[in-house]
Amino acid sequence: MSRLFLLNILLLAGIAMATLKLLELRDETARREELVHSSAPTLPKAKGTTAVVPPDRTVAANYLDIAARLLFSKDRNPTVIIAPPPVKTVPAFPLAYGVLMMADPPIIMMAAKKGDPQKGYRAGDPIGDYKIVSFDNRTITFEWDGQKFTKNVQELVDRDAQSAQLLNRQNVQNIPEQTAAVPTASKPQVLSDTGSSQQGTPGPDIGGGMRACGPGDTAAPGTMSDGYRKVVSETPFGKVCRWEKVK
């Protein structure tokens, strides 16, 4: 029991001595800090500075003169010229030879260009660079490159063809009677059961179940031949002859 008591006394004494030592260290540290702060030099107060002005913003237009005077390219031009798109030229319009409004649907006889054979066309059919939108016996509307053109049919008439037909008629009328007479041996024979001559037979196919009248076709309207019937219509161009397939 006495030994335990003595041990406790020794522990308390050790704790007291350690505490005193810590207090001495604290006081010594505080003294040194005070000594350091008291002997530190006094720094002068910093003077205020003015704000720095930021540089101007870079603008490309300010350097156009430099680009135009570039020594490595004497032909340099800062002005860019954009060429306009090429203008399309409206192609020549087709030639007209007649309008068959009594057909179902109506048909207009045309050629894409001079020298081409004439054919029958209906609304919606293409012809050359154009498309036929609609037509009647006076006007016709074409479509090309998204544009629509309405033309008078008389403007599209093939004048050369009309002049040739008129000259041919005048020449036939001016031939003396004895010269124009056809020998009996060369007269056309009559077709059986039709009453039409060999010259009154259907010509080239022009589409739509129709054939053109051949040159010198003298058969009367209504003549039947090879399953076709001859029809003659009055148009602004004069009489138009054709052979229609009998249905």
Render pLDDT for 125-173 as a digit per residue (tens, 0 to 9): 999 999 999 999 899 999 999 999 999 998 998 877 554 454 444 443 4
Answer yes or no: is 42 within a domain: no
Answer yes or no: is 110 within a domain: yes
Mean pLDDT of the chain: 76
Answer yes or no: is 127 within a domain: yes
Range of the domain at 231: 190-247
The pLDDT score that the predictor gives to residue 191 is 32
User: In whole angstroms, how far apart are CA 173 and each of 119, 177, 180?
Assistant: 29, 9, 9
Residue 186 has pLDDT above 80, yes or no: no
Q: Which residues of 186-195 are buried (b: 16+ CB within 10 A; e: fewer)?
A: eeeeebeebe
Residue 40: which pLDDT band, with cuts at 50, 70 and 90?
A: low
Task: State both tokens at 228.
Answer: 């076709």
- Report how many helices (DSSP H) and strands (DSSP E) the chain contains, helices first: 4, 12
* Strand duo 228-235 + 238-245: pairing: antiparallel
For the chain, what percent of residues have pLDDT higher than 90?
A: 23
SS3 140: strand
Tell me the C-alpha distance between 107 and 243, whole Å.
13
Residue 211: which pLDDT band, with cuts at 50, 70 and 90?
A: confident
The pLDDT score that the predictor gives to residue 237 is 59
β-bridge partners, 244: 210, 229
Answer yes or no: is 82 within a domain: no
Residues 147, 99 within the same domain? yes
Residues 145, 195 within the same domain? no
Q: What element of type H or E holds 149?
A: strand 147-152
Q: What element of type H or E holds 13?
A: helix 2-39
For the chain, what percent of residues have pLDDT higher than 70?
A: 75
Nearest Cα neighbor of 198 from 187, 207, 209 is 187
Tell me the C-alpha distance between 231 and 240, whole Å.
8
Residue 20: which pLDDT band, with cuts at 50, 70 and 90?
A: very high
User: What would the mean pLDDT of 17-22 be, rounded to a whole number?
Assistant: 92
Nearest Cα neighbor of 237 from 171, 141, 161 is 161
Residues 142, 100 within the same domain? yes
The pLDDT score that the predictor gives to residue 64 is 73
Answer yes or no: is 34 within a domain: no
Last residue of a domain, one of 112, 132, 156: 156
User: Lowest-confidence range among 18-27, 93-102, 192-201?
Assistant: 192-201
Answer yes or no: is 151 within a domain: yes
Residues 196, 247 within the same domain? yes
DSSP state of 77: -
The three-point CA angle 217-222-226 to 5° equals: 70
Count how many domains the chain has: 2
